[in-house]
């Protein structure tokens, strides 16, 4: 049977349930077609690879965990992640990590897994993600370990926090001896289990979708430096400059010391930059402007009250600038009263003095009765963050707002996993491209109405879609599997009687009921079939016939 590890009495929070109680015990090897793995109660990694439906083999053992798992009281479930077509990371759930050279997988008897690294890495964890890459001629594997740990300082919350440990293991050559050793260990901490956490293929960064923010835990020295910075920022309360804007220009006001004369001031304009220096001091203001200006028309004067006033003429009239100098937070934006009233006017139609003033009106602004209970989404501020691996700082933050996270899927194993978000009634699939700053998240597929349909499935446990987007699927905790095909053209003419229009295509929904009384523990989708794992049975559902 599958090595299911039930939650213990001290694992009672929603985060324990999310991370370990809803764990997917079936692992899809995206590098090879229709190749799945699970770990059984004897600690054996079992593989089933399908080539022909008519000649299904029994699952076969490809590796056996060296530890006797029954001896551990506080272990988690074993976890597996396929870092590349020949490398695998494996955890036995006791806090030990294995790096395995598997050779080519899924091809029967020749599959031999060989341990090249194994080390105790502290308290038990599950593997969230891993990648294999070569940097400056050195082969490395980066792994993301997820833990839910007791937090003594947290007296108001659940008493636990979540850590993501980013471990990089690299091949080190010493006197002709090749060995894999830990190169770096870095820890992020947050207050909710991430919906999605993945390392970029190059090993340079990390992307996380989570309800509560994560941040890197620093060493003591860094903390001291941070405190000094914090002290410095507390002392400098007043903004360095104030700025205002209209549709076509920007005005900056800078207070200057009494002893500065006009000749001491240098203001340099260029189409995208500004630089202001006083006497021989380092620049007072310098950097890239939010948008281009007509630099030849920009001017500056000194006012009577010893302030320097700079006028910038916007190249593109109209759009409001959210900031003046990119990344500079030392200034304060002042909105003039006419702008305030303009904005208020544009928002007027969205608000009214009274709550639902005229409920009989044709289109009420919002009718709370129409929102079904399943549409109310608890987590209201999920965000997507990208962390830089060198600076350990956040480089991008996107507030996903009400775009509920649904599931993730590997479309191309050489790229990061995609994530699927609810957009209104639909579900949209996004592919991260860490190497394309202009196109970092690309919309690659849409599942019509899936956002709405899945919301009504109160018992849903897992969700997935085919890597070629031909269908999406979800399963409940017991027995039922729902398959949603993409719309396909009809061979016969079909009319919508109510509206009298011709229907060109139809999207089919299929329901499969498994002959099993055990709960579903694993769920994976490939282009042709769905794999559903219960404690003692692995079901295969043929969805599409092969080409």
The tokens of 280 are what?
């021989």
User: Could you give the CA distance from residue 500 to residue 487 in angstroms, rounded to a whole number?
Assistant: 20
Query: What pLDDT was estimated at residue 108?
Result: 62
Query: What pLDDT was estimated at residue 371?
Result: 47
Query: What pLDDT was estimated at residue 39?
Result: 96
Q: Which H or E run contains 16?
A: helix 14-16
Tell the residue number behind the tokens 């544009």, with chain if given.
346
Instruction: Convert the pLDDT of each residue in 428-443 to its tens digit.
Output: 999 999 999 888 999 9
Query: What pLDDT was estimated at residue 374?
Result: 47
Query: What pLDDT was estimated at residue 380?
Result: 55
Q: Where are the domains of the chain?
A: 1-220+379-401, 241-329
CATH architecture designation of domain 241-329:
Sandwich (2.60)
Give the CA distances from residue 50 to residues 24, 47, 86, 414, 546, in Å, rounded to whole numbers and listed in that order.
20, 10, 19, 22, 12
Q: Is 439 helix (H, G, I), strand (E, B) or coil?
A: helix
- Torsions phi, psi for 510 (to 5 deg): -120, 145
Model-level pTM? 0.72
Query: What pLDDT was estimated at residue 353?
Result: 52
Each residue's pLDDT expressed in tens, for the chain with a length of 547 residues: 999 999 999 999 999 999 999 999 999 999 998 899 999 999 999 999 887 877 788 899 999 998 877 778 889 999 999 999 999 999 999 999 999 999 888 766 677 899 999 999 999 999 999 999 998 889 999 999 999 999 988 778 888 999 999 999 999 987 778 899 999 999 999 999 999 999 999 999 999 999 988 999 976 445 555 555 555 545 546 788 888 888 889 999 888 888 888 888 899 999 999 999 988 888 888 999 988 999 999 999 988 777 889 999 998 887 788 889 888 888 888 877 676 666 666 666 655 555 444 545 444 444 444 545 444 444 457 999 999 999 999 999 888 887 999 999 999 999 999 999 999 999 999 999 999 988 899 999 999 999 999 999 989 999 999 999 999 999 999 999 999 999 988 888 888 788 888 888 888 999 999 998 899 999 999 999 999 999 999 999 999 987 5
User: Could you give the CA distance from residue 237 to residue 332 in angstroms, rounded to a whole number?
Assistant: 11
Give the whole-number percent of the chain exceeding pLDDT 70.
Answer: 88
Sheet holding 441-447, edge to edge: 405-409, 418-423, 426-432, 441-447
The tokens of 440 are what?
């970092």
Query: What pLDDT was estimated at residue 381?
Result: 76
Query: What pLDDT was estimated at residue 154?
Result: 79
Taking Cα atoms as reference points, which of 453, 514, 515 lies closest to residue 485? 453
- Torsions phi, psi for 280 (to 5 deg): -105, 20
Judge contact between 403 and 423, C-beta under 8 A.
yes
Distance from CA of residue 273 to its chain's centroid? 34
The tokens of 404 are what?
């509920």
The tokens of 364 are what?
């009420």
Tell the residue number behind the tokens 């700053």, with chain if given.
437
Q: Are strands 241-245 and 331-333 parallel, antiparallel or unpaired?
A: parallel
Sign of CA dihedral 206, 209, 214, 215: positive
Q: Is 542 helix (H, G, I), strand (E, B) or coil?
A: strand
Taking Cα atoms as reference points, which of 190, 65, 71 lies closest to residue 128? 190
């Amino acid at each position: 049977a599958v090595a299911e590890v039930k939650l213990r009495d001290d694992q009672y929070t929603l985060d324990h349930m999310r991370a370990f109680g809803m764990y997917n015990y079936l692992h899809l090897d995206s590098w090879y077609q229709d190749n799945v793995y699970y770990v059984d109660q004897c600690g054996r990694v079992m593989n089933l690879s399908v080539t022909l439906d008519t000649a299904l083999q029994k699952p076969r053992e490809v590796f056996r965990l060296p530890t006797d798992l029954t001896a551990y009281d506080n272990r988690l479930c074993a976890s597996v992640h396929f870092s590349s077509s020949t490398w695998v990371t494996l955890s036995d759930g006791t806090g030990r990590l294995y790096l395995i050279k598997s050779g080519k997988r899924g091809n029967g008897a020749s599959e031999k897994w060989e341990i090249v690294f194994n080390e105790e890495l502290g308290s038990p964890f599950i593997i969230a993600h891993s990648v294999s890459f070569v940097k400056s001629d050195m082969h490395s594997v980066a792994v993301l370990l997820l833990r839910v740990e007791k937090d003594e300082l947290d007296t108001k919350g659940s008493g636990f926090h979540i850590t993501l440990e980013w471990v990089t293991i690299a091949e080190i050559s010493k006197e002709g001896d090749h060995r894999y050793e830990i190169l770096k260990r870095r820890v992020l901490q947050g207050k909710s289990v991430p919906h999605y956490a993945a390392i970029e293929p190059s090993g340079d960064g990390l992307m996380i979708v989570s309800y509560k923010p994560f941040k890197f835990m620093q060493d003591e020295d860094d903390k001291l430096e941070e405190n000094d910075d914090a002290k410095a920022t507390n002392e400098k309360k007043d903004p360095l400059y104030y700025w205002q804007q209209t549709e076509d220009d920007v005005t900056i006001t800078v207070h200057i010391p009494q002893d500065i004369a006009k000749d001491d001031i240098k203001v340099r304009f260029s189409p995208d930059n500004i630089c202001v220096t006083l006497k021989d001091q380092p620049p007072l203001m310098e950097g890239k402007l939010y948008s281009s200006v007509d630099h030849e028309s920009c001017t500056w004067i000194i006012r009577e009250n010893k302030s320097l006033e700079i006028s910038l003429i916007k190249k593109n009239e109209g759009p409001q600038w959210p900031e003046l100098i990119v990344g500079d937070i030392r200034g304060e934006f002042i909105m003039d009263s006419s702008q305030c009233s303009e904005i208020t006017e544009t928002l007027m139609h969205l608000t009214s003095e009274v709550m639902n003033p005229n409920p009989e009106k044709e289109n009420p602004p919002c009718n709370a009765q129409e929102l079904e209970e399943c549409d109310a989404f608890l987590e209201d501020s999920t965000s997507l963050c990208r962390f830089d691996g060198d600076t350990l700082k956040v480089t991008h933050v996107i507030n996903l707002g009400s775009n509920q996270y649904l599931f993730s899927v590997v479309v191309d194993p050489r790229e990061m996993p995609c994530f699927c978000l609810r957009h209104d009634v639909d579900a949209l699939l996004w592919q991260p491209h860490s190497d394309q700053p202009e196109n970092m998240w690309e919309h690659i597929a849409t599942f019509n109405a899936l956002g709405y349909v899945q919301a009504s499935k109160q018992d849903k446990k897992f969700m997935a879609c085919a890597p070629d987007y031909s269908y999406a699927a979800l399963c409940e905790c017991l027995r039922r599997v729902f398959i949603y095909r993409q719309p396909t053209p009809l061979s016969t003419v079909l009319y919508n009687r109510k509206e009298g229009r011709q229907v060109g295509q139809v999207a089919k929904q299929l329901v499969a009921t498994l002959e099993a009384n055990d709960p579903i523990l694993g769920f994976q989708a490939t282009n042709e079939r769905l794999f559903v794992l219960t404690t003692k049975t692995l079901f295969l559902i043929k969805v599409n016939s092969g080409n």
